[in-house]
Chains A and B, each alone.
Chain A
Amino acid sequence: MIMHGYVVRRLSLGLAQIVLVTALVFALTEALPGDAAVVLAGDAPDPGRVARLRHELGLTGSAAERYTGWLLGVLRGDLGTSMIAGRPVAAFIAESGPPTAQLAAITLLLLVPLAVAGGVAAAVRPGRALDRVISGTSVALYAVPEFALAIVLGAVFALRLGWLPPTAIGAGGDLLADPAVLVLPVLVLLARPICSISRLVRGGMIDALGSGYAAHARRLGLAPRRVRWAHALPNAVTPAVQQLARTTDWLLGGVITVEAVFVVPGLGSALTGAVAARDVPVILALALLFAATTVTVNLLADIAAYRLAPRSDGAG
């Protein structure tokens, strides 16, 4: 019953957050210099032409009118059409969604076991060689910006050694059809979250293994392996689960860099293009999608944390 009320409260809060994010993104887009007409006019900014473009693109109404119009459309299930291309916004999302979803899914699938294994391995004998190697590497790797990492990995593994394709150019919408193009982007996306999560698991494990109940379990004669995986780990991963949710938010940002460097035609590329073109309906739809994903994932993480360790209030 408590759980149920909590979910309802969080859901309504989440909806409000999503609407607020789109309003904020709209306001920020309005605050950007120029509009779609100015961008389209490019280096031929004849003022008469800019005015005609503005009229053609329907940019003549007030900002409030345009945002309300968009919001009402969304409530009817209509995401609108691209201001520039005239194609439905839903088509943009249908084309760009799968590559990003594939990148994110593969990253998360690899991230969880690798980070947990790394964290546990480091925690077994804190301060010893294995821990020092894992901890040192992860701190160092965490400090590398993903743009730099992407360029370096591409230069070494694609251009110098020739083991992997340097970009996903021409791969089309289904990256799984040519899995080699996924390797470098996934490595870059994994690098930072694997460090932060394994550090959290390590810390949680050290605390848990040193706790009274772990000591008690060992005194009862349970195998160290059993104590480690069945008793200490569930407590140790609670903060990590919430960090995993933050990682999903981070992935949505990370894909923008990774997609640009490796020419992946995903949501990040779509967003970059839409912002540069000031294509407001496409920007808003992507903001909606990103906000909804973030809110949902965080909600699920908090519920999971609540179930794993009911004593925490799960609202972190």
Chain B
Amino acid sequence: MRSVHRRAFLGAATGVSAALLTGCGTTATSRTAASGTPRRGGRLRVAFAGGGGQETLDPHLSNLFVEASRSKALFDKLADYGPDLSVRPRLAERWEPDPALTTWRVTLRQAAFHDGRPVRAADVLYSFARIADPRRAFRARAGLAVIDLPGSRAVDDRTVEFRLRHPYAEFPNLLAAFGVFVVPDGAEDFTRPVGSGPFIFTSFQPGRSLLLRRNPDHWDGAPYVDELQYLTANEESARIGALLGGQVDYAHDVTPTTARAYQDDARVRITRLPGSGMQAFAMKLDRPPFDDPRLREAMVLLADRRGLVDSVLAGHGQVGNDLFGKGYQHYAAGIPQRAHDPERARWLVRKAGAEGLKVRLDTSAAAGGFVESATVFAGQLRRAGLAAEIVMGDKDTYWTDVLDKGTLCCFRSGAMPIESHFAQRLLTTSTTNITKWRRPEFDALYAKAVSLADPGARGRVYAEMQRMQHAEGGYLVWGFADWLIAARPGLQGIAVSPANTLDWARFDKVWLA
């Protein structure tokens, strides 16, 4: 059985990041084949891999793709990510920092929960305090640590003043971070959730079906469809089967193989969401063999990136340049693309005295394409005279298993701002620093960047940090996978925006033609 994506997590942002507010909330996302004018009505049925009977509707517990999508249907965040991972205002109408960047005043727009109560500053403060509760383990908690919540306050019903522990120019990113949804003050029971989102709760059977109805009064405009039903199918073959059989209108997350098989089928339209998943091999830099810079360089030169994208992603993606966030705001596009140079790599291996070196490559079915990419890369390593050995791990516990153990492993990440990637994975204090990149000068650059109010100046520091990563970092980023969505041709208005962003898996702006 294939359930590769069953526990496919988002690699979501719990950190903090860049972006200046541009004023209004309209995004310029391209939408596929938006033929004709939107039509009102109908029930939209969408199929996702789910979490079985263990699923909950508590938005702060969101972990899986389906949970993220449901949460955004029922709830709103203060801000969210645009297609380039810059921040867009949502429930927040605007925000202004003080000159020191330690006090941020957030003004809420006029919005209401499904039971008619207005969204107030108290609801925002309650939601943030709930996530940051030190006795609990919400995913977004670590990111909110910069906020001095006891020192923050409601100025009036529509104004929140956040006090921070240190200057932080990327504060708006926190408002858009994964799972930071605004719930009503005091909400603890989410069996019949009340949010402010575009859809209202109707009924829920965990692991099977969630039925929602249109919120006619949503502040961002009411949805086109009358009802939205989330259905669970963990097997990819079942999701595509249900779509072909007319049982659902939208199947989230199909494989490149499926996309190719049905590209000419009139019953299906495949939407590609480029830039959704970074695909990499992570080398640990604090231990042999990759504490030797020659071997680290040999690895990045040995990877045939085009070959990996063509075989593992069936061409549905772009090659990577050992940097996170291709196409996102602040990405260092000016750094030359790494070339495939097996000859120089072999010379480096010889120089390091590592011919015949045994390289252990950890992989598992934790994410689509992992096992395939390990197989292809191991072949590339063997041709260079290294004894690559693939070790299959448990898919459910993979991320914890590879965090501290091993030397080389398959790695992926969902979309998040580049600065969040730095904060979560590349600082000496980062809790998920899988490449063990610990550089005081890199930490200092980070601290400098987030204390700069000017986004251009901040961008220059981020570029310098990316040059360091490219030259010496432990991430061999070989590609960026397109996220693949299969839908009935009658479903119109699907946005092209990476997974994890506002317009991904969003159903209030689509319609059934």
Given contacts A33-B393, A34-B401, A262 and B238 within 8 Å (CB-CB): yes
From the candidates B52, B142, B366, B413, name the one contacting A273 in the complex (CB within 8 A). Answer: B52
Given contacts A46-B431, A265-B208, A273 and B53 within 8 Å (CB-CB): yes
A53:B137 contact, CB within 8 angstroms = yes
Residues in A38-52 with C-beta less than 8 Å from chain B: 38-50, 52
Given contacts A38-B397, A260-B3, A170 and B45 within 8 Å (CB-CB): yes
From the candidates B54, B235, B237, name the one contacting A277 in the complex (CB within 8 A). Answer: B54
Residues in A78-120 with C-beta less than 8 Å from chain B: 82, 84-87, 92, 95-96
Given contacts A45-B403, A167-B247, A169-B233, A269 and B431 within 8 Å (CB-CB): no
B12 at the interface (CB under 8 A from A): yes
Nearest CB of B to A254, in Å: 13
CB-defined contacts of A87 to chain B, threshold 8 Å:
53, 206
B51 at the interface (CB under 8 A from A): yes
Binary per-residue interface labels of chain B (107-121) against chain A in the complex, 1 for a CB within 8 Å, 0 otherwise:
000000000000000
Residues in A210-254 with C-beta less than 8 Å from chain B: none
B248:A269 contact, CB within 8 angstroms = no
Nearest CB of A to B483, in Å: 16
A269:B207 contact, CB within 8 angstroms = yes
B403:A151 contact, CB within 8 angstroms = no
Residues in B136-162 with C-beta less than 8 Å from chain A: 136-137, 139, 141-142
Q: How large is the interface on A (under 10, 10 to 19, 20 to 34, 35 or more residues)?
A: 35 or more
B53:A92 contact, CB within 8 angstroms = yes
A34:B397 contact, CB within 8 angstroms = yes
CB-defined contacts of B393 to chain A, threshold 8 Å:
33
> Which B residue sits closest to A150, measured CB to CB?
B237
CB-defined contacts of A34 to chain B, threshold 8 Å:
394, 396-397, 400-401
Report how many residues on chain B are interfacial, defined by Cβ distance under 8 Å.
Answer: 55
A44:B9 contact, CB within 8 angstroms = yes
B247:A85 contact, CB within 8 angstroms = no
From the candidates A39, A154, A169, name the one contacting B7 in the complex (CB within 8 A). Answer: A39
Nearest CB of A to B383, in Å: 31
A126 at the interface (CB under 8 A from B): no
A14 at the interface (CB under 8 A from B): no
CA A158 to CA B242, docked complex, whole Å: 9
Nearest CB of A to B40, in Å: 23
Given contacts A273-B51, A278-B396, A158 and B245 within 8 Å (CB-CB): yes
A16 at the interface (CB under 8 A from B): no
Residues in B214-247 with C-beta less than 8 Å from chain A: 229, 231-235, 237-238, 241-242, 244-245, 247
B373 at the interface (CB under 8 A from A): no
Residues in B401-436 with C-beta less than 8 Å from chain A: 401, 403, 413, 431-432
CB-defined contacts of A86 to chain B, threshold 8 Å:
56
A170:B244 contact, CB within 8 angstroms = no
A124 at the interface (CB under 8 A from B): no
Residues in B53-79 with C-beta less than 8 Å from chain A: 53-56, 63
Greatest chain B CB density within 10 A among A45, A277, A279 is at A45
A314 at the interface (CB under 8 A from B): no
A30 at the interface (CB under 8 A from B): no
Residues in B1-48 with C-beta less than 8 Å from chain A: 1, 3, 6-7, 9-12, 14, 45, 47
A44:B432 contact, CB within 8 angstroms = yes
From the candidates A50, A92, A172, A260, name the one contacting B209 in the complex (CB within 8 A). Answer: A172
Greatest chain A CB density within 10 A among B12, B54, B208 is at B54
Nearest CB of B to A134, in Å: 31
B137:A272 contact, CB within 8 angstroms = no
CB-defined contacts of A298 to chain B, threshold 8 Å:
none
CA A173 to CA B205, docked complex, whole Å: 10
Q: What are 16 of the A-B contact pairs (CB < 8 Å)? A: A38-B397, A41-B399, A44-B9, A45-B399, A49-B137, A87-B206, A95-B53, A154-B237, A166-B242, A169-B233, A260-B234, A269-B207, A274-B54, A276-B52, A277-B51, A277-B52
Interface residues of A (CB under 8 A from B): 32-34, 38-50, 52-53, 56, 82, 84-87, 92, 95-96, 147, 151, 154, 158-159, 162, 165-167, 169-170, 172-173, 257, 260-263, 265, 269-270, 272-274, 276-279, 282
Top-10 shortest CB links A-B: A273-B52, A34-B397, A46-B431, A166-B241, A166-B245, A52-B137, A84-B54, A45-B400, A42-B9, A43-B9
